[in-house]
């Protein structure tokens, strides 16, 4: 597999879904002549990505409207760029304590606990490094080693004090929920939709997929796992009631003047974009927050580190794709994943406990 073939892609697509563009589309649920219930869909932009919610049931239209509003509220609270957001306030607090809303304190608390759990592979304070590499402005550049060393002094989740709803960062530190916010928001929306009586829905938040229940006919959702090497889907994963989240530097990267590719997931130990044998890693978890944090963190850890982590915390599944075209998947989902014939030459390895 050649790296040059990589393209910016949403890693997961829903098989059979036609994306009609960035428009708000809210259609009423209706029963067809055959008696099958048609889905209600809403599509919009939020959290710097493309979002599509699909739900079934007679109250689905109203429920999705509430879900979309909730996403907008979370974005307003968690944005790093909107001056009125809670995260912006924290990042401009000059070392002073800031009081957060309950929901924001929870997502930050979760990110900190996963930072601890992954030995700092997830680093919620990596933002200054992202800025140095130009990922926050779009003006990408390769910083020199000294600059990176200086920047790493402002990075380190252990220096954050979170006490109830009050948070305090050291001066110069900045929080970024980029690796956890979409998954956490998916959980919040899942909760909201379930409360409104929705038992069958699919949330696609920029490629983070969350399945509520199964399809209305009771069968599993069939999700296409996007190839990190360019066009096409590697294979199809059959799931119900799960979050399926992929990370990889193929999603967002730039090519430096040295001809090298530099991706948006940073190794917090070095301050450099992750460079290891992984092309992508997909996490299949009960909750979006776990899928989102682990896909980023285990991408940082690399194949060996990801497998070790899974053996120590086997409450999720993973599909890892290496740069040289091998697939590693955990034993429980081996039967739920089927490789597309176009990728039939890829070697599939089952990870066992």
Q: Residues in the site for ligand AMP, rule: CB under 6 A?
A: 122-124, 126, 130, 176, 178-179, 247, 264-266, 268, 292, 295-296, 300
Q: Shortest approach of Mg ion to residue 147 CB, angstroms? A: 26
Of the pair 58, 149, the CB lying nearest ligand AMP is at 149
Angle between helices 181-195 and 60-78 (to 10 degrees): 150
Q: What residue is closest to ligand AMP based on CB?
A: 178
Distance CA 36, CA 30 (A): 9
| Interacting residues with Mg ion (CB under 5 A) | 179, 292, 295-296
Nearest 5 degrees, angle CA 201-CA 203-CA 206? 165
Distance CA 135, CA 130 (A): 5
Distance CA 61, CA 40 (A): 6
By a kind-dependent CB cut-off of 5 to 8 A, residue 87 interacts, out of ligand AMP, Mg ion, none, with none
Of the pair 41, 301, the CB lying nearest ligand AMP is at 301
Q: Shortest approach of Mg ion to residue 231 CB, angstroms? A: 23
By a kind-dependent CB cut-off of 5 to 8 A, residue 265 interacts, out of ligand AMP, Mg ion, none, with ligand AMP
Of the pair 63, 123, the CB lying nearest Mg ion is at 123
Q: What residue is closest to Mg ion based on CB?
A: 296
Which residues face 210 on adjacent strands? 203, 243
Q: What proportions of the chain, in percent to the nearest 5, are helix, strand and coil?
A: 30, 25, 45
Integer-rounded Cα Rg, in Å, for the chain is 20
Q: Shortest approach of ligand AMP to residue 208 CB, angstroms? A: 8
Q: Shortest approach of Mg ion to residue 163 CB, angstroms? A: 26
Of the pair 122, 193, the CB lying nearest ligand AMP is at 122
By a kind-dependent CB cut-off of 5 to 8 A, residue 290 interacts, out of Mg ion, ligand AMP, none, with none
Closest CA to 80 of 67, 89, 72, 71: 89
Of the pair 179, 333, the CB lying nearest Mg ion is at 179
- Contact call for residues 128 and 154 (beta carbons, < 8 A): yes
Q: Shortest approach of ligand AMP to residue 34 CB, angstroms? A: 39
Phi-psi region of 282 (alpha: psi -120 to 50; beta: other; left: phi over 0): beta
Q: Shortest approach of Mg ion to residue 279 CB, angstroms? A: 16
Q: Shortest approach of ligand AMP to residue 29 CB, angstroms? A: 31
By a kind-dependent CB cut-off of 5 to 8 A, residue 346 interacts, out of Mg ion, ligand AMP, none, with none
- Sheet strands side by side (includes 201-205): 40-46, 49-55, 201-205, 208-212, 243-247, 278-285, 317-322, 326-330, 347-351
By a kind-dependent CB cut-off of 5 to 8 A, residue 330 interacts, out of Mg ion, ligand AMP, none, with none
């Amino acid at each position: 597999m050649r790296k040059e073939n990589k393209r910016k892609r949403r890693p997961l697509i829903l098989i059979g879904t036609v994306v009609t563009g960035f428009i708000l589309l809210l259609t009423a649920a209706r029963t067809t002549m055959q008696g099958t219930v048609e889905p209600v869909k809403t599509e919009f932009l939020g959290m710097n990505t493309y979002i599509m919610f699909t739900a079934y049931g007679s109250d689905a239209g109203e429920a999705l409207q509430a879900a979309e509003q909730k996403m907008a509220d979370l974005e307003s609270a968690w944005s790093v760029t909107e001056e009125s957001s809670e995260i912006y306030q924290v990042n401009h607090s000059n070392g002073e304590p800031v009081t957060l809303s309950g929901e924001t304190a929870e997502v930050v608390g979760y990110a900190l606990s996963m930072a601890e759990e992954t030995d700092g592979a997830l680093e919620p304070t990596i933002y200054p490094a992202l800025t140095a590499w130009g990922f926050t402005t779009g003006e990408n550049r390769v910083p020199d080693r000294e600059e990176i060393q200086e920047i790493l002094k402002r990075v380190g989740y252990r220096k954050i004090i979170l006490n109830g709803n009050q948070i305090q960062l050291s001066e110069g530190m900045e929080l970024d929920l980029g690796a956890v916010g979409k998954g956490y928001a998916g959980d919040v929306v899942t909760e909201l939709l379930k409360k409104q009586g929705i038992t069958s829905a699919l949330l696609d938040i920029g490629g983070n997929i969350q399945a509520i229940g199964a399809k209305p006919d009771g069968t599993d959702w069939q999700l296409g796992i996007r190839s990190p090497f360019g066009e096409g889907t590697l294979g199809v994963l059959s799931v119900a009631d799960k979050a399926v989240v992929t990370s990889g530097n193929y999603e967002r990267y730039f090519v430096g003047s040295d001809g090298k590719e530099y991706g948006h997931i940073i190794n917090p130990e070095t301050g450099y974009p992750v460079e290891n044998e992984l092309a992508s890693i997909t996490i299949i978890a009960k909750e979006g927050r776990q899928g989102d944090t682990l896909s980023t963190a285990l991408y940082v850890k690399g194949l060996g580190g990801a497998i070790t982590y899974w053996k120590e915390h086997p409450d999720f599944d993973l599909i890892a794709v290496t740069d040289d075209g091998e697939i590693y998947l955990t034993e429980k989902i081996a039967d739920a994943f089927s490789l597309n014939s176009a990728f039939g030459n890829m070697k599939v390895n089952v990870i066992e406990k």
